């Protein structure tokens, strides 16, 4: 009987030891861990690629033209001037959120071409609307990937951009840019908020208390994770609403930030850098690049050179697409924007069909300077 008892004890010990040995992870679990770790270590650049300066030979020089003195555009041989359509408040309309089937394809975008229609005319005294605070912690400058600004496609790499992107560490807090009400806080797998469904992965949309000319204004945070709010919740500026994540069309952590005016739709965006308040140490140049008939030049490279320091910033004029998804500000009617400029004297320049056009401007901290170049 002793030998039977001994055998039973040995069997119990063997079972207990085998239960303490870790089992190998499934291949799918390992793949998921590797994807998250790779994404967490990737951060989008926040500075533009270095682009060679324009040739110093200036074939033609223009002085800045105030937006209040825009030249009248003949209408006999051209289509009517395009006026951006501002939709009524979403509380008074039904928005189709059905997923397009099949999903839309990326259309081709033409560069260094003139638009088919005259561009909207700016208002005589456009109002600044720097209502929004920075959506990321730390205050100060709001940096973003300037090689992929609003209205551009990163030289054919991506879909036409209807917001701005800032690289940040996975889990970085995202803050309410103003007082308002959360109207969306969910995944977009089965509902259309972007170019297609599952465009953002997860998103938060804040409707501001403040309205622009009796139209609602929305701030959208895309590719977020760890949503901290729920629909219908009231928030104050600076409160955390989510964390930087990835998903949808994004494979690395970053914040995609949009401003929508009039309606919470993909077609209602405007350049968010005209809404986020700049620090007093930086200013903006908001410009128009047109031909003599008022048609906009699309996808054209421009530079802004600080005449005292010699530093150069670059950007591109807005592209267009068949749905006309890119919208200028109602007051400025711009088609290019330089942001984060140190105050001082600048020369804005571009080269079209072998001719260099320039305009000198003065940039002031915390303010917008307007310029118009007619080719």
Residue 265, both tokens = 């739709």
Mean pLDDT (whole number) for 71-93: 41
In a domain, 92, yes or no: no
In a domain, 44, yes or no: no
Q: Does 166 share its domain with 287?
A: no
In a domain, 120, yes or no: yes
Is the pLDDT assigned to residue 319 strictly greater than 70? yes
In a domain, 293, yes or no: yes
pLDDT value of residue 190: 97
In a domain, 5, yes or no: no
In a domain, 45, yes or no: no
The pLDDT mean for the chain works out to 82
Q: Does 144 share its domain with 243?
A: yes
* Type and span of the H or E element at 371: strand 368-374
Q: Does 230 share its domain with 344?
A: no
Which of residues 261, 277, 293 is at a domain's end? 277
Q: How confident is the model at residue 209 (pLDDT cuts 50, 70, 90)?
A: very high
Helix residue ranges per DSSP H, 181-230: none
Say how many domains are in the chain.
Answer: 2
Provide the CB-side half-sphere exposure for 339 (13 A, CA).
24
Residue 10, classed as helix, strand or coil, is: helix
pLDDT value of residue 1: 40
Q: Does 142 share its domain with 123?
A: no
pLDDT value of residue 270: 99
Q: Does 287 share its domain with 216?
A: no
Kindly report, residue by residue over 98-133, the tens digit of the pLDDT: 999 999 999 999 999 999 999 999 999 999 999 999
Is the pLDDT assigned to residue 20 strictly greater than 90? no
| Main-chain phi, psi angles of 26, to 5 degrees | -65, 155
pLDDT value of residue 93: 56
Q: Does 119 share its domain with 207?
A: no
Closest C-alpha to 324, from 199, 165, 160 = 160
Q: Does 216 share its domain with 353?
A: no
Is the pLDDT assigned to residue 75 strictly greater than 70? no
Domain around 230: 131-277
pLDDT value of residue 139: 83
Mean pLDDT (whole number) for 226-233: 98
In a domain, 202, yes or no: yes
Is the pLDDT assigned to residue 60 strictly greater than 70? no
Mean pLDDT (whole number) for 221-229: 99
């Amino acid at each position: 009987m002793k030998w039977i008892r001994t055998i039973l004890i040995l069997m119990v010990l063997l079972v207990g030891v085998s239960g303490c040995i870790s089992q190998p992870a499934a291949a799918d679990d390992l793949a998921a861990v590797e994807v998250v770790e790779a994404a967490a270590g990737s951060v989008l650049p926040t500075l533009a690629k270095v682009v060679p300066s324009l040739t110093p030979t200036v074939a033609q020089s223009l002085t800045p033209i105030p937006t209040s003195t825009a030249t009248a555009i003949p209408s006999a041989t051209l289509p009517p001037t395009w006026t951006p359509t501002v939709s009524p408040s979403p509380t008074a309309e039904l928005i189709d959120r059905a997923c397009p089937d099949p999903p839309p394809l990326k259309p081709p975008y033409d560069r260094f071409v003139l638009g088919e229609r005259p561009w909207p005319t700016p208002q005589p005294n456009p109002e600044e609307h720097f209502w929004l605070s920075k959506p990321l912690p730390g205050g100060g400058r709001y940096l973003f990937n300037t090689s992929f600004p609003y209205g551009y496609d990163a030289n054919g790499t991506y879909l036409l951009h209807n917001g701005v992107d800032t690289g940040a560490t996975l889990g970085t807090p995202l803050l309410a840019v103003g007082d308002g009400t959360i109207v969306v806080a969910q995944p977009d797998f089965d509902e259309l908020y972007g170019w297609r469904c599952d465009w953002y992965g997860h998103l938060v949309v804040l409707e501001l208390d403040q309205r622009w000319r009796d139209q609602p204004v929305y701030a959208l945070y895309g590719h977020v994770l760890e949503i901290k709010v729920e629909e219908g919740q009231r928030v104050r500026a600076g409160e955390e609403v989510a964390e930087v994540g990835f998903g949808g069309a994004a494979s690395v952590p970053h914040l995609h930030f949009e401003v929508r005016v009039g309606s919470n739709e993909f077609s209602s965006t405007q350049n968010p850098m005209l809404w986020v308040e700049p620090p007093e140490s930086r200013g903006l140049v908001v410009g128009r690049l047109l031909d003599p008939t008022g048609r906009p030049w699309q996808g054209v490279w421009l530079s802004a050179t600080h005449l005292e320091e010699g530093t150069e910033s670059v950007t591109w004029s807005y592209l267009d697409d068949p749905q006309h998804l890119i919208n200028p500000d109602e007051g400025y009617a711009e088609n290019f924007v330089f942001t984060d400029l140190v105050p001082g004297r600048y020369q804005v320049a571009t080269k079209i069909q072998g001719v260099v056009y320039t305009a000198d401007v003065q940039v002031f901290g915390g303010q917008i300077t307007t310029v118009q170049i007619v080719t």
